[in-house]
Amino acid sequence: ALTTLPLSQDSYIPFCDDFGPLNLGTVYKFCRTMEGLLQRPDWLRHKLIYFCPLHPRVCTNAAFLLSCYMLLCRGASAKEAVAPFADIQPRPFLPYRDATFVRSDFDLEFESCVKGVDKAARNGWFSMSKFDLIRYDKLSDPLFADLHELCHKFVAFKGPVQQGEGVFDHRPNKFVSIFKELRVTAVVRLNEVRYSSKIFTDNGIRHYDLFFEDCSVPPPNIISSFFDICDRERRVAVHCFAGLGRTGTLIALWMMRHHGMSADEAMGWLRVVRPGCVIGEQQHFLKSCEHMQWQGNYCATPEARKSSWRQSMCAKQLKEAMSNKRRARQQ
């Protein structure tokens, strides 16, 4: 007899026209479900067929999930995990894109996201045996904290505000106890001032301001200062307005330098953990930084492409999308 069990690939809540990769909680639940099915005594002699609709976005997320399962639960390398999908013609997969409605000019393939998960697992940032799904879901909930642990060094979160305008705006004092639990020693603010840093410093958490424009790329002095802070601090909580673009860009750059990740691998991992990370021109910037020459914590970064219209449009759309996504989560 044929037994059919539904496994959803549609759990991604988009900001704009983005559709994945599916987040780390979904990856974990999928892997646990697959393991449970394959270990059932009455199924040991049978093959498990996993199928999905022929919609390119759904196919892409299905291939990503299956590849992560092979990587995390079956001991496959990243190359081995994605290999079964390489020869499918015509290719039914779409590249992932950034969290805007602006026409995408940067492709992030699902294979790169799998490689990012592989690098993270090898660095000890994630394992199936130690991952706490309840904690991940709680901290990521925009009603609670909108916060993610990206690796041993960094926590990314939406920028707090002194006077919140709604249920999704959190005051800085809310994060003090969370940061104590996560062993955060410093907060880095990348956006304009919307709260007093005294709330953190009075509680023994150092605070740094490294402002640069929304949806833009960091200049060399900001990168150098950020890396200096990271060298001094045990664990750093980073935010901009949404905790996605500027935040993700600097953290990705650190991962590229200190852990040998490619730009695509770093962006892939960040978006798996914290969907929406790295916006617009920031994607091209990270790609152009892959072969930079460093002198200590200083580097002469490539000149960013100029497009003030695109930058402002990305920033506007992301802010609107943050509100829309949180309303969807609340319903």
User: What are the pLDDT digits (tens) for 154-194?
Assistant: 999 999 999 866 666 799 999 999 999 999 999 999 999 99
Indicate the average pLDDT of the chain. Answer: 91
Query: For 310-316, what is the mean pLDDT?
Result: 66
pLDDT of 330 above 80: no
CA 164 to chain centre: 25
CA 36 to chain centre: 27
Question: How many whole angstroms separate alpha carbon 158 and alpha carbon 211?
Answer: 15
- 283 closest CA partner among 217, 224, 223, 239: 217
Question: Is 240 known to be catalytic?
Answer: yes
Write out pLDDT tens, residues 183-212: 999 999 999 999 999 999 999 999 999 999
Q: Name the pLDDT band for 40 (thresholds 50, 70, 90).
A: confident
pLDDT of 284 above 70: yes
pLDDT of 126 above 70: yes
Write out pLDDT tens, residues 47-104: 888 888 899 999 999 999 999 999 999 999 999 999 999 999 999 999 999 999 999 9
Cβ count within 10 A of residue 128: 14
Query: For 242-257, what is the mean pLDDT?
Result: 98
Which helix (H) or strand (E) segment holds residue 157: the answer is strand 154-157
CATH T-level fold of 133-296: Protein-Tyrosine Phosphatase; Chain A (3.90.190)
- 216 closest CA partner among 303, 281, 300: 281
From residue 194, alpha-carbon distances to 121, 169, 200, 240, 317 in Å are 36, 11, 13, 10, 20
Q: For position 169, what pLDDT does the model report?
A: 76
Q: Name the pLDDT band for 327 (thresholds 50, 70, 90).
A: low
Q: For position 328, what pLDDT does the model report?
A: 54
Provide the token pair at 308.
């003030």
Q: For position 312, what pLDDT does the model report?
A: 66
Angle between helices 24-38 and 133-140 (to 10 degrees): 150
Q: Which of 31, 240, 277, 314 is catalytic?
A: 240
Q: For position 43, what pLDDT does the model report?
A: 79
Q: For position 58, what pLDDT does the model report?
A: 94
- 207 closest CA partner among 227, 237, 240: 237
**pTM for the complete prediction?**
0.92
Q: For position 316, what pLDDT does the model report?
A: 64
Residues of the chain with CATH 3.90.190.10: 24-114, 133-296
Per the listing, tokens 């291939």 go with 63
Query: For 123-131, what is the mean pLDDT?
Result: 98
CATH T-level fold of 24-114: Protein-Tyrosine Phosphatase; Chain A (3.90.190)
Q: For position 48, what pLDDT does the model report?
A: 86
Question: How many whole angstroms separate alpha carbon 257 and alpha carbon 252?
Answer: 9
From residue 146, alpha-carbon distances to 139, 143, 158, 170 in Å are 6, 7, 6, 9
